[in-house]
Chains A and B, each alone.
Chain A
Amino acid sequence: MITVKNLKKTFDDTPVLESINLEVKKGEVVCLVGASGSGKTTLLRCLNLLETPDEGSIRIGDKEVSFGEDKLSKKDIKDIRRYSGMVFQGFHLFPHMTLLENITQAPLTAKQQDKETIMKEASVLLERVGLSEHQDKFPDALSGGQQQRAAIARALMMHPEVMLFDEPTSALDPQLVREVLKVIESLAKEGQTMVIVTHEMNFARRIADKAFFMDEGYILESGPAEQVLTDPKEDRTREFLALLEDE
């Protein structure tokens, strides 16, 4: 589903990603973990070209782009983004639209389906994330957990092959984290391919097939989530996990 080869990225001469290689198979759930500043969010944002890598290549689905010589065309960017949906740490719902409008705006704009189908699907999805009774409210009237669940529904409306989650629960009050994780977990059970940047280690152990531990722009350790997150080989990974346990 996703193949990343030799990816490199610098911000103003500071390297943030170095020789990144990773593969995600269809139906897999992959977690990116690591300290802040380790490059995991940047890596995730490279997967839908919100950031443009300097070198290397990314293949998602049938689309492959490589970076370096030529500037990316608008079409390349569009083609890559077609495969993925993204959920942000800060939700980024459209504040001037009701929840229903939020989740139907993109499919209605894309016009790949007729309106009736889109509306039907929207109400099924809202039901599924438990927001049916809030569909006519504005985001500002909802809790962070509700907003994030709506943001997940919004991304799902475009039928992405891969869902990208950028610290989906980091901006939430502790008591709201579970309701969001439950939605993500139910997606995992359905076989949705996902790449998740998270600090929720128990959650990651439970649902992830693979885990990548990132440190200073490198993938330092990768393997089955259970092993990487419970019994890592590298000292740095061990230190990082121990630090989280302390909290």
Chain B
Amino acid sequence: MFETFGNIRWEYLFDYELAIDSLPFLLQGLRITMVIALFSMFFALMLGVVIGVARMSKFAIFHLPARLYISFMRGTPLLVFVFILYYGLPVIGLEFNNAVVAAIVGVSLNFGGYLAEVVRSAILSVPRGQWEAAATLQMDYFQTLRKIVIPQATRIALPPTFNIFMDVVKGTSLASVITVQELLYSARLVAGRTYDSMTMYISAALIYWMVCIVIGYFQDRLEIRYNRYLSK
């Protein structure tokens, strides 16, 4: 499995000095990573709500395209999809003038499909009695959706949505293959220059981890807020 098993050079495992010296450079990459991640998550959420609601429509003109979209996005690797956008589209004469924009489009469209399913399952998890009670109180469909169903569905949707948010953050690393100088790309640049791949990729991994810890913290806070109406 390893060619030099028995002769591991632990001293090369992690070079603190290099890690600290290259940190400002990696953080610049992180800025691009976060720009892609935040925009992508925002657009993916919008898409998810629209497509998720369309998927539940009883009209075929809404639910069939929604099903097809979800199926395609869940069934294709994000990397392949990003290649299609960035390297494929120029062949037919459509070119992104900015690789960051291509990354945002790719990640948003892809994760929008997953979020559509989260939205759908969360709305379906609100008991039918809630709809019926609202109907007997003369509330219409959209009033019920807004005041009764979405607040309850949000609570259910929080954990899976934050799962996807973390996947989005990590998924932005694929932008490095279309020349976006985000976190992973920056780490690779330093690794190439110093020949210390181990230190640089561990550094990148730790930074992704830190970001996800912060996201997890917001998840906890939101869950507490949305669970406050439950006694236990």
Partners in one complex: yes
- Across the interface, do A81 and B152 meet the contact criterion of CB distance under 8 Å? no
Give the residues in chain A near B133, CB-CB below 8 Å.
Answer: 86, 88, 92-94, 151
Binds A, one of B78-86, B110-118, B136-144, B204-212: B136-144
Contact B130 A92 (CB under 8 A): yes
B212-231 contacts to A, CB under 8 A, are 228-231
B contacts with A, residue count (CB < 8 A):
22
Taking the closest CB of chain B, its distance from the CB of A236, in whole angstroms, is: 31
Given contacts A88-B132, A96-B152, contact A110 B138 (CB under 8 A): yes
Contact B229 A95 (CB under 8 A): yes
Contact B132 A92 (CB under 8 A): yes
Do the beta carbons of A81 and B229 come within 8 Å of each other? no
Contact of B137 among A96, A139, A140, A154 (CB under 8 A): A154
A106 near B129: Cβ-Cβ < 8 Å:
no
Interface residue from A81, A88, A151 paired with B138 (Cβ < 8 Å): A81
B88 an interface residue at 8 Å Cβ cutoff?
no
Q: Do the beta carbons of B129 and A109 come within 8 Å of each other? A: no
Chain A hits for B139, CB < 8 A: 105-106, 109
A140 x B231 contact (CB < 8 A) = yes
**B residues within 8 A CB of A81?**
135-136, 138
Interface status of A78 (Cβ within 8 A of chain B): yes
Residues A96 and B138 in contact, CB atoms below 8 Å apart: no
Q: Does B147 contact A (CB under 8 A)?
A: yes
Q: Residues of B with Cβ closer than 8 Å to A?
A: 127, 129-130, 132-140, 143, 147-148, 151-152, 155, 228-231
Sample of 6 more A-B contacts, CB < 8 Å, known A88-B132, A95-B229, A109-B143? A50-B135, A78-B138, A81-B138, A93-B133, A106-B139, A140-B229
